[in-house]
Chain A
Amino acid sequence: MPDLRLGPLGYGAANLGNLHRALSDEDAWAVMDAAWESGLRYFDTAPHYGLGLSERRLGAFLATKRRSEFVVSTKVGRLLRPDPGGTGLDLANDFVVPADTTRVWDLTADGVRRSLDDSLTRLGLDRVDVVYVHDPERHDLEQGLAEALPAAAALRDEGVVSAVGVGSMDTAALAAAARTGLPDLLMVAGRLTLLDQSAATEVLPLCRSHGVGVVAAAVFNSGLLATDEPADGALFDYEPAPPALLDRARRIAALCRDHGVPLPAAALQYPLRETTVAAVVVGGATPDQVRDNGRRLGDPVPAALWDDLRDEGLVAA
């Protein structure tokens, strides 16, 4: 595992790319300011988030900070290309940005280098600390692991970046990535949460075996775990949660309440109990959300809550 100061909490910058709702540049700045004031120093972005908007906004903000004070990661896999014929908004991908740019999958070694170069330009930085191969299973997992990941590892070995990894919501892809022995980090999105521990059994043992650190993202599973009381219509993995899952979330919430713990605090702290987890990354579209997350990290969670969740069969371990 690389010697990077990531955690315990990082800011995941999908919201800065207008995920689900448009933020003004001022709103976005206020969110980043709140993250910084809350002590967060690890920022994760991607070209995918708002077709480059997240990277541009994050870069502009980080330009006001000393480079040695923060750690930043971005992702490779999808190149952004101008699309003069593109009309309307990028709503198909849940981003409220003009669709005048398009994503082109490229998991070749050359594509990895070009993607990183483009990201550095948008960020206005001369280096990022971490680069993840983003969702390779959505295009071609085999190529992602045979070409893109080794290319990223070569960038690390040349000193261009400090650490490399794979970011995905897919445990099979993450497990296969760990097995290559190439990644320093895996960004596990939504699969190591109070509602979904599939990575705990399918990925984390391989991480311990291969010396891979884990960054847990989407720990609220898109929203279902983000409020004290999971609401009808709350999202799970970007979709409205099915009734069985909503019911389980409410049982978890009830147990949390019994122990005087807000559900989001438990959701935030749950992955950090694993020793391989280097950081939890959470988003936030308002300064208040970001500040709340920073505070929830310090909320006391009695060990008895974890025991009860396990004994009730609500979490695996």
Chain B
Amino acid sequence: MIVDSHLHVWDLGSGGYRWLGPQHGPLHRTFTADEAARELTTAGVDRAVLVQADDTEADTRAMLAAADAHTFVAGVVGWVRLDDPATAERQLDDYGTHPRFCGVRHLVHDDPRDDFLKLPGVRRSLGLLAERGLPLDVPDAWPRHLHRLPALADAVPGLTLVLDHLGKPPRGTDELDAWAAAVRDLAARPNVVAKVSGLQRSGQPFSVEALRPVWELALEAFGPDRLMYGGDWPMTVHDGGYAPHWRVVRRLVDELGTDEQAAILGGTATRSYGLPKRIDV
């Protein structure tokens, strides 16, 4: 069974996604769970984790509704108001108890506060996540947050950090070495896992050879048991959509042994998010 650890759906009719506008071209439309299911079926991927796409309760509730309606949804990484621990606790006690609610993310890369993850209130909320066994996904950590994550991982050893998109490597720039050093530093912490997802970068080729340097760095730093594949659809529609991306990553994964493949294509996500081994309908 193959699990995609990172997929999005959204409904523009629901009131909207602040970051998403007409300037995003083909991305600026509704993407439903039905469409996601078709993409996954075409690619031969069995399950997916839906990940929040805006810091709103409505977005998370819509994903949980999709989880109720679709058996391909293995889990939902939702949003809670981390900077207000009382609200965060209320939300965790409310929709956070949904059986598919498996993790939390906040769009830290869009948040103007550089020290967001160090705010006392946020730290208190992260303790609540750790207590409930819910990991924290960190999107697009490079360049603003990646170097802050090791201290967070050390300070809260009970919290699992999920580095989305390998921290968003600045491929094709001279900053790639600095990114690699920061990823190595973070990967030295046992409570951090990472997603091989979202590696597209405008102006840069998305091919086996173009991805190989960051892929090999990720393998060396985290090892397959701490890496999970993510499609990051529909963010990939600019570059051909789900299947073309999946084929590139799949070819890299195919170079590994069977156990290593199983980890990256499902085992790590299942363990990290506590996903159900099977979903009864």
Interface set of A (CB-CB < 8 Å, partner B): 1, 157, 179-182, 205-211, 275-276
Residue pair B130, A208 in contact (C-beta under 8 Å): yes
Residue pair B130, A210 in contact (C-beta under 8 Å): yes
CB distance from A150 to the nearest CB of B (A): 11
B158 interface hit (Cβ, 8 Å): yes
Residue pair A209, B123 in contact (C-beta under 8 Å): no
Residue pair B131, A276 in contact (C-beta under 8 Å): no
Residue pair B127, A276 in contact (C-beta under 8 Å): no
Residue pair A181, B158 in contact (C-beta under 8 Å): no
B159 interface hit (Cβ, 8 Å): yes
Give residues 152-201 of B contacting A (CB, 8 Å). Answer: 154-159
CB distance from B277 to the nearest CB of A (A): 24
Residue pair A275, B157 in contact (C-beta under 8 Å): yes
What per-residue 1/0 map shows which CB atoms of B125-163 lie under 8 Å from chain A?
Answer: 111101100000000000000000000001111110000
Task: Enumerate 29 A-B pairs (CB-CB under 8 Å) in ascending A order.
Answer: A1-B154, A1-B155, A179-B131, A180-B124, A181-B85, A181-B123, A181-B127, A181-B128, A182-B124, A206-B131, A207-B158, A208-B130, A208-B156, A208-B157, A209-B127, A209-B128, A209-B130, A209-B131, A209-B156, A209-B159, A210-B127, A210-B130, A210-B156, A210-B158, A211-B157, A211-B158, A211-B159, A275-B157, A276-B157
What per-residue 1/0 map shows which CB atoms of B54-73 lie under 8 Å from chain A?
Answer: 00000000000000000000
Give residues 95-136 of B contacting A (CB, 8 Å). Answer: 120, 123-128, 130-131
CA distance A240 to B158 in the complex (A): 38
CB distance from B157 to the nearest CB of A (A): 5
CA distance A211 to B126 in the complex (A): 9
Residue pair A205, B158 in contact (C-beta under 8 Å): yes
CA distance A275 to B155 in the complex (A): 12
Smallest CB gap from A1: residue in B? B155
CA distance A275 to B128 in the complex (A): 20
Smallest CB gap from A153: residue in B? B120
CB distance from A98 to the nearest CB of B (A): 43
Where chain B touches its partner, the secondary structure class is helix
Interface set of B (CB-CB < 8 Å, partner A): 85, 120, 123-128, 130-131, 154-159
CA distance A251 to B271 in the complex (A): 39
Q: Give the residues in chain A near B154, CB-CB below 8 Å.
A: 1
CA distance A275 to B156 in the complex (A): 12
Q: Give the residues in chain A near B123, CB-CB below 8 Å.
A: 181, 211
Q: Which of A1, A206, A210, A276 has the most CB of B within 10 A?
A: A210
| A-B CB contacts (within 8 Å), total count | 44
Smallest CB gap from A212: residue in B? B127
Partner of B124, one of A181, A208, A276: A181
- Knowing that A1-B154, A179-B131, A209-B128 touch, tell me 19 more A-B residue pairs with CB under 8 angstroms: A179-B127, A180-B124, A181-B85, A181-B123, A181-B128, A182-B124, A205-B131, A208-B130, A208-B156, A208-B157, A209-B127, A209-B130, A209-B156, A209-B158, A209-B159, A210-B124, A211-B126, A211-B158, A211-B159
Q: Give the residues in chain A near B120, CB-CB below 8 Å.
A: 157
CB distance from A152 to the nearest CB of B (A): 14
CA distance A205 to B159 in the complex (A): 11
CA distance A207 to B131 in the complex (A): 9
- Given A181-B85, A181-B123, A181-B124, answer yes or no on A210-B157 (Cβ-Cβ < 8 Å): no
CA distance A205 to B130 in the complex (A): 9
CB distance from B124 to the nearest CB of A (A): 3
CA distance A206 to B126 in the complex (A): 12
CA distance A94 to B276 in the complex (A): 55
10 closest A-B pairs by beta carbon, nearest first, are A208-B158, A181-B124, A209-B130, A210-B127, A209-B158, A211-B156, A209-B131, A211-B155, A181-B127, A208-B157
Q: Give the residues in chain B near A276, CB-CB below 8 Å.
A: 157
Q: Give the residues in chain A near B126, CB-CB below 8 Å.
A: 211
